[in-house]
Structure 1
């Protein structure tokens, strides 16, 4: 039996043209990605994304539009499932009120076995695809830049 792992992520751009990214550490592996996560059984994609933003960022969001759905094979880095990721452009309904870090992988704990997540707002002109760990995030970021009147100063 082959397992599918459906993931949903949001690309949130603030009024200062900065994108919200998540630095996470789990199982002693660190990675940078967009906020979001796994679809739970019985849940729709948009509800899942709204739930993930509430769980991770304590932030209500509005879905602006669909950006990208994985169109290539991607094996999970954590198990034997195939990842299918769906990305949406989102906007904050409330004020982002989560502690923000200035540098990548600036975790609060030295315990590398402890799961931890921290957030950063990165200038859209400074975020390169190679700064994102997973290929699906990299492709979604390129799609955003190519379809959203993105300005690279």
Structure 2
């Protein structure tokens, strides 16, 4: 008997504007709150870059250019929501169309509180963002890699 181990491939984008602010998505699903970079699960038959463009359009209503690769998960990570293994791929992205979102200044400041899935967005100064502001280990590592690649590394804890 063959045992299948489900893999969940996810793709995320780090978007930094001209004011050196990075886009953060605060979300709540099924009672769990988390802060992360925009993105999500790859759909069958979809490439990483196309999946990231679709995710940004769905979540943020913005068209993006997918630029350089930042990080791919290189350790075992169990899903926060189900029994799958997460493989996350991170890219730097640049918005092509204007970023017209209702930005919040406080995490988890949701406008609508009906249903089971909520999302809000913040623009956070890169200099103010701490690793602990991000919920998932892969997002934290991707941020560290991004900062190193762009000579912005500091003692973020």
**Which TM bucket (shorter chain)?**
over 0.9
1:56 and 1:37 map into 2 onto residues whose CA distance is 9
Paired position in structure 1 for 2:142 = 140
Q: 2:89 aligns with which of 86, 89, 95?
A: 86
Residue-pair matches, total: 151
Paired position in structure 2 for 1:103 = 106
Q: After superposition, where does 1:28-107 map in structure 2 within 5 Å?
A: 28-107=31-110
Asked if the contact 1:125–1:151 (Cα under 8 Å) also holds between the matched residues in 2, the reply is no
Query: Please, which moves more after superposition, 96-105 or 9-18?
Result: 96-105
1:6 and 1:138 map into 2 onto residues whose CA distance is 18
1:2 and 1:114 map into 2 onto residues whose CA distance is 28
Unaligned runs of 5+ residues in structure 2 are: none
Q: Deviations over 1:103-141 (max 9, x none)?
A: 111112345x52011100000011111110000001000
SS in 1 for 2:28: strand
Give the root-mean-square deviation of aligned CA atoms.
1.1
Matched, 1:5 2:8: yes
SS in 2 for 1:49: helix
SS in 1 for 2:135: coil
- CA positional deviation for 1:94: 1.1
TM-score by length of 1: 0.95
